[in-house]
Amino acid sequence: MSEIIVFGAGGRVGRAAVAEAAARSHAVTAVVRDPAKYRDLAADGVTLVRGDATDAGSVAGLAAGHDAAINASARLDMPSEEFFVAAAKAMVSGLTKAGVRRFLTLGIASTLETAPGVRIMDAPDFPEPYRLFSQGHAAEFETLRETAAGLDWLMVVPPMDLDQAGPRTGRYRTAEGRVIEGPGHIAHADLAIALLDEIERPRHRGIQLAVSD
């Protein structure tokens, strides 16, 4: 059994990761900005706490004693690049101080390549609001590449079609930094399996790992 901390635990992917970790008998700390809104997350093996993924002190204090961390947090009330870069810096600083080695963060499919050097978000007809949000994740990845040498980190990137209600199949495919051929779909439950598999049996490091069914 490991101690796993999940930032952004109130979101759809965060909830799925908390549920999968608890189902595997890990002790889970579920971090949200306002615990009063997410009381349903508290359960056997799950401790619900208040925290801020962009505050290195908060990250360090909450993550101390844990074996691994997942960041599934996002905010729409501030510029995407500002949030994701701040979160990346806080995670690197806070987790390093707390002595947490394994770190997984959630990416976005539009940052994956369709051909060498060509990302989905680079297409001329890609919607500008989505491009701005995608740039936040791209900047997060670059920040991790530049600053996270002391962490055993990985960015896990689901496809465009994330299915909250989809069944848990236990199957998924992976690729490094590129779009996976096929329908581009995965259920939240299977994405959570991929996340927990990479915590229990780390196989990829320091890359964007695309996952799809």
pLDDT band at 21 (very low <50, low <70, confident <90, very high): very high
pLDDT tens digit sequence for 29-73: 999 999 999 999 988 899 999 999 999 999 999 999 999 999 999
User: Residue 206 and residue 93: Cα distance in Å, rounded?
Assistant: 16
How many C-beta atoms lie closer than 10 Å to residue 147's C-beta?
15
Q: Look up the CATH number of the domain holding residue 7.
A: 3.40.50.720
Nearest to 69 by CA among 83, 88, 82: 88
Q: Name residue, tokens 């465009």.
A: 160
- 168 pLDDT more than 90: yes
Structural domain that includes position 87: 3-212
The residue length of the chain stands at 213
Dihedral angle sign, alpha carbons of residues 81, 82, 87, 92: positive
User: Residue 159 and residue 179: Cα distance in Å, rounded?
Assistant: 8
Structural domain total, the chain: 1
User: Residue 69 and residue 103: Cα distance in Å, rounded?
Assistant: 5
**What is the full DSSP assignment across 113-136?**
EEETTEEGGGSTTS-HHHHHHHHH
